[in-house]
Amino acid sequence: MKRLIYSLFTLSIMLTHVACTSNGETNTILKESKAPFGAPEFSNFKIEDYKEAFDKGFAEKRADIKAVIENSDAPTFENTIDALELSGKMLDKVSAIFFNLNESENTPQMTEIEEYVVPKLTELSGYVYMNDTLFNRIQTLYNNKENLGLTEEQSIVLENYYNSFVRGGALLNEADKATLLDLDTKIGLAQIKFGANLLADNKAFKLVITDKADLAGLPQGVIDAAAAEDGTWVFTLDKPSCIPFLQYADNRELREKVYKAYYGRGDNNNENDNKAIIKEILQLRQQKAKLLGYDSFAHFVLDEKMAKTPEAALDLLNSIWEPAVKRAKEEKAELQKIADRENAGIRIEGWDWFYYTEKLRKEKYALNDEAIKPYFKLENVLAGAFDCATKLYGVQFVERKDIPVYNEEVSTYEVLDADGNHLSIFYTDFFPRDTKRQGAWMTNFVNQRNIGGENIRPMVVNVCNFTAPQGDVPALLNIDETRTLFHEFGHGLHGMLTQTHYPSVSGTSVKHDFVELFSQINEKWSIHPEVLPTYAKHYLTGEAIPDSLIAKMQKSAHFNLGFETTELVAAALLDMKMHLIEDYTDFDCNEYEKELRKELGFINEIEYRYRSTNFAHVFGGGYAVGYYAYLWAEVLDCDAFELFLEKGLFDPETAGSFKQLLEMGGSKDPMREYRRFRGADPNPAALLRARGLI
């Protein structure tokens, strides 16, 4: 998942994270870096300097914008759009550092700073978006764009600015502008509270086992990972801890406890409860949409996406839903047969699904995670991802020990093109910490740009929560974690290879339902039988994964995909349909989830991938009315990968053509360029074929 930091201040110029300070700056955040490539010197930063750094950044940004507003010359692309793209470098720098660290090194102090900053970002957003003089300059250019001799990239940048200003309230009267600012401030603060509650609730749960008998069924590696110094075993809601427990623990009562705790995060009627916050956010978003002339927040969000309308997104989701549920019901019946054969005397419930799925996997394919994991040492998987990128795009990765990091677990690499030229700095941060939110994401510390005489290359970070090393045993990944590494690395490549001029359209700054194409297609190489032996080597013997095990993995490729597809589509439908409601007066998210279950015919044994109270994508970040994008983009990635299968997994011509998509960022029309690559429109059946649903 790509984390969208700037949920409030979406003006694209905020994403140019470059160092821009004078010598002699005493603020540790803003002080000019002496590290290679000007990389952030994290160890020098003092947390008490953030507020001052932000305030200085806000002041500089306002001065830059004021200069554009007060320019007495007739508006040109250079004195208006170029000037906006180059404005606020100091604020961009501190924002990139702070919001990235706030995700992975969060503390109460960081949350307090975030609460201080968000209203100021909203106020600044209003100052920019709602200034009539500035909008008139942009509107003048927009109305005359056919006569300006613009490149396609410049035309898109200009159109993006015009649309952003309109969506930011430029056409509203003064009273409504004030109302919009108030709504944005309240939405931002509510989202901060949602995220803080979720992190706190996640940290609060610990299953402490004192009786060794309660560990029955768990692999030794899982037991060792949970061992505490006081002779107990502790399981948390971090996925590397709770998912193996659900898969292998024989104690059904404890499985139920972990399952309900995981899916019940934010729904415990305590100080971390998110139900009231969800209602507040939905109400505020709906008010914002209505104020801007949209029927619902879903209509507002989708108006600027590839899908364009809720109907188009729902058509895709509904086309997948029926075959997914049908397959899931078949899978449930198979699991029930195993339970009955074992005389378990139970009806399969959600907390049984993972457990009996592992039994079924072993029975049908003589395969389970513990047989696979020894071949997926983290360092080898990362090397495999690097190797695929080298074969496809000619890029090289050189580990650097001289680039500062924000945590000792972080590694850094210099990325070079085929000729040895510098492309990017790449950071990896792979293991869970109490200060890190769950999930996996990619963001930038520095965005690429080539404007105003400077060619700035990006600094990209991948953050994940993988199984950590235990004693002499290195970090060994399961298949889901392996795919996640390749997924986030696909986002990373999108950020690192970009070759645009304007920062507002560089890298992953593309339409939301296009961005996941590059992450999801990269997953395809991770488990392909041609690629697996090149990196999947036993961590003790160094022997490549045997053909027999690869064959079992291929044979089981569609195993449990009814469950996985159903939980994913259900979450996307929940997100979409919640934001189509027009009146939230009597809204209760738990009751709504139950009603939607009935409407969809959603079987009770499967939970939404994320329930409302822990749906951080939607209520704590930038994916509101956006979770469908994973499936929208999956149509593209499955269709695109079929061309690689046809031409050759590393066919130079096909890879070179796809690289153009990676490099263009948002500087070109995405569907036109996809058709150029593929030679046709994307075929939705490719997704169903890839998931084994047809």
**Which residues participate in catalysis according to the annotation?**
488
What's the CA gap between 689 and 684, in Å, rounded? 9
394: left (phi over 0), alpha (psi -120 to 50) or beta: left
365 near 559, Cβ under 8 Å? yes
CA-CA distances (angstroms) from residue 45 to 26, 50, 662? 11, 9, 34
Between CA 663 and CA 549 the distance in angstroms is 36
Half-sphere exposure of residue 585, counting CA atoms within 13 Å on the CB side? 1
State the distance between the two ends of the chain, measured CA to CA, in whole angstroms. 27
DSSP one-letter code for 610: S
Q: In this structure, what DSSP letter does residue 145 have?
A: G
Helix, strand or coil, per DSSP, at residue 416: strand
- DSSP code at position 486: H
User: Largest Cα–Cα distance of the chain, in whole Å?
Assistant: 84
Angle between helices 89-104 and 108-129 (to 10 degrees): 140
The two three-digit tokens of residue 208, written as one number: 């402490």
Long-range contacts of 250-257 (CB under 8 A, 24+ apart): 250/216, 250/217, 251/214, 251/216, 251/217, 252/346, 252/351, 252/352, 252/355, 254/207, 254/209, 254/214, 255/351, 255/352, 255/354, 255/355, 256/349, 256/351, 257/207
**Rounded CA gap, 421 and 403, in Å?**
18
Q: What share of the chain is helix, strand, coil (3-state, %, to 5)?
A: 60, 5, 35
Which pairs count as long-range contacts for 173-179, CB under 8 Å and 24+ apart, including other chains? 176/291, 177/126, 177/130, 179/291
Neighbours of 48 (CB within 10 A): 10
CA 554 from centroid of its chain's CA atoms? 27
Residues facing residue 444 across a β-bridge = 460
For 429, half-sphere exposure in the C-beta direction (CA atoms, 13 angstrom radius) is 26
Name the H helices within 342-443.
350-365, 369-372, 378-393
List all residues 6 or more positions away from 407 whose beta carbon is below 8 Å from its beta carbon: 104, 105, 429, 433
Query: Which residues on adjacent β-strands are paired with residue 443?
Result: 461
**Strands 454-456 vs 422-429: parallel, antiparallel or unpaired:** unpaired
> Is residue 456 a contact partner of residue 450, using CB atoms and an 8 Å limit?
yes
